Amino acid sequence: MGCVVCGGETKGSALLCEKCFGAIDDPLVLLPTALDPKSDQRMFQISSPCLRIGPVSSADVSYSKGPEPALRLREILASEDKSGLPLFVSGYLTGLGVGLYLRGDERLPRRGMIWSILQNAVESDFKTEQWAAASIRMGNVLALLVREVSRLPIEASAVLPFVQKYTEAVRTLYARSLPYPSLSDAAAINEILLDHWAGNSEKALSMIEDRIEGERSEAARAHLLIVKATMLVESGMQSQAVQVLESIPGKVRDERISRLKALIEVTR
């Protein structure tokens, strides 16, 4: 096969060679995207500063505080006091639809700023519950990246180290939730999905089954069953997935159930 970017020969059925994959500055471009009709050029950090009307003494463009996310992030990172970072990161990712519980069907709008946030914030560590929540959301974005890259026709020599690197990064982010029981439960369930996407499906299915058996909350149990059905569908075990979905009480309303059933019908 040949690389779709450089045309060079690739191994097996890979359509992207290791060199071209490594040249991608923002790997989030590989994620399935959501339509984002409310965004404009400013959200993509293009033509971000406002135009000045009338003559000015300097041609320099100055940046100041404001509601625009790109400028707000720049102001926080440039400041010695970065205490506003947890609230900003958590609020921004929440607004994009990144919840505490990883679902697997998330679709993010294409914004370069998401990767910029991850690059600049992922190494920061504030000993607060708010930062733990923000870290789970950042981990969820990277977990989705692990899922997508592991599925794409890219040379294994590039995929394996990439998946390993970001899988460990996600685990580190999730581990920040350990002091906070209300968050650590979400992180633990998310990590099961991460194991599945990283290639340890058998381990992930065993772990989710253990959690299902010990769960007494009907809502939480329904989420666990949907997660299990998701992993079964993605592992090609449609019949078992159907049985799991049918065990979910009919009063549970979750669009993932109908989506999974439709996907099962298509793949049968």
Domain-wise residue ranges, the chain: 67-199, 205-268
Tokens 């040249």 correspond to 23
- Output b/e per residue, 220-246; b: 16+ Cβ within 10 A: ebbbbbbbbbbbbbbeebbebbbebbe
Is the Cβ–Cβ distance between 76 and 92 less than 8 Å? no
Residue 59 is inside which H or E element, if any?
none
Is the Cβ–Cβ distance between 63 and 75 less than 8 Å? yes
The tens-digit pLDDT sequence of the chain (268 residues) is: 789 999 999 988 899 999 999 999 999 999 988 765 445 444 444 444 444 455 556 666 554 454 578 888 888 888 888 889 999 999 999 988 899 999 988 888 888 889 999 998 888 889 999 999 999 999 999 999 999 999 999 999 999 999 999 999 999 999 999 999 989 999 999 999 999 999 999 999 999 999 999 888 888 999 999 999 999 999 999 999 999 999 998 888 888 999 999 989 877 6
Give the rounded distance of the alpha carbon of 174 from its chain centre: 12
Q: Which of 111, 110, 154 is nearest to 13 (CA)?
A: 154
Q: Output the six-digit token pair for 209.
A: 């089954």
Is the Cβ–Cβ distance between 134 and 86 less than 8 Å? yes
Distance in Å from the first CA to the final CA of the chain: 29
pLDDT single digits (tens) 16-53: 999 999 999 999 999 988 765 445 444 444 444 444 45
pTM score of the predicted model: 0.85
Residue 135, pLDDT score: 96
Residue 49, pLDDT score: 47
CA atoms within 13 A on the CB side of 174: 26
Residue 41, pLDDT score: 43
Residue 123 is inside which H or E element, if any?
none
Residue 236 amino acid letter: G
Q: Could you please report the per-residue DSSP string of 206-217?
A: HHHHHHHHH---
DSSP class of 2: B
Helix, strand or coil, per DSSP, at residue 108: strand
